[in-house]
Structure 1
């Protein structure tokens, strides 16, 4: 692992100095995200990120791939509950400190311990999606680890994310992508399409970050009130069709995926189209990340 930047060169000598431009939490996997001003960093990523998931009658996870309407489900985190709203539905309140029966569910190739959230939540999601589903919550006692093929010696834990605790994308990457969309005659899209947890912005307008710099960084060190949080980029994020879903309308159209295909095929993941980098947490559990905090990093030339 790289040594801490603060132990060596300091911020002034880092290759890249940026800021946290925005923070996003996705409480229910594949539903809309919540933009927050601050978020607690835990060993599984940002607090409450992908803590809940929707499963079918066999206990297998479902996403916007099968049900684009999930994009229209808007969570809101309160002090004691999560409030879910969707078009044509009364609000659903889900207590943050209550679960019901233990269950086992499947996400990708993993069988995971979870808790059912009860019949009211199940009926709400079933009514909105038009098929029988249930809402479950990740069992915090269960250890679901990222692939050691990418994390090496580090045991990186997740809840219901696709496989890694944190996803980072720079605003410069989105701006560059929107330029390519415009050149193809398509309208710009928002960062919501790509579902990052941390969005990096330039420390000084017009300086430092170039598109997809996150692909090339060795270690991100974030200055928090509790000390330096250290997050390691480990794997480019392969992209499925979900970015083709308009988060405002749930309509699906191909221009996002088609444009990515023209320039984002990545040899590191066997030619899959990627956008953003998956991170693991090396240091900073229970540190508070906030919008505006300084992020420094050096390039990785391995």
Structure 2
């Protein structure tokens, strides 16, 4: 797979007050991407998959490579999944883990693995009262992303960690589940927690709130890069989540990570057998050194 410092590392720039990292794109690349998205957008309009709540120019990608189901199943078969993924990401020099102390699961005992689809939100400038008075159209776009998504995708929403305003609630999660999404990661707050739990739809969020996002949140970009706590996520990256937190595996490292996890898991299973059998230290030390000293 080559160096862990992939080409994306060298094509980043900082912008905005928060120093958000986004990939640099040449004007030629931007025009080509726009032409592709325009064509795919028209195709999805014909297929009845465009709600139109967000301007088309804010959709960065529609079709992109996704991790095969066979690979996703290999991840799902791993016990203590995020801890295993986090260890391998560390060994590769990749920042890709957020603890459950920052992004808490709404349900307990759920495990999700799937390709990321993304939304980047900002807060509206108007007050909600003014929005109602002006009869504004809602600018949240979860409906758009649900119908652009494929079954098994994981929605990753970035609202800068805002804890006051809801990014999604029970009805939104009902649509997501009906459309076949595997779960949602929200760098912000959600509401209707009891409904979400009853649905059994997996959601991780920074917090909960009763306050609607209607007339408070505007979607600025779909399927572009987003930041979730301290990690960067791009459409197509593999999202892994369980009770311990979430991990993002860059698309180009997905196979390498699961190969390494499976190798380590075999060694750890053998070590567990030896520990239970109260094996002598001279049998444990080689496996210990192999696991913890590389």
Higher strand share: 1
TM-based fold match above 0.5 = no
| Band the TM-score falls in, shorter-chain normalisation | under 0.3
TM-score, normalised via structure 1 length: 0.23
Higher helix share: 2
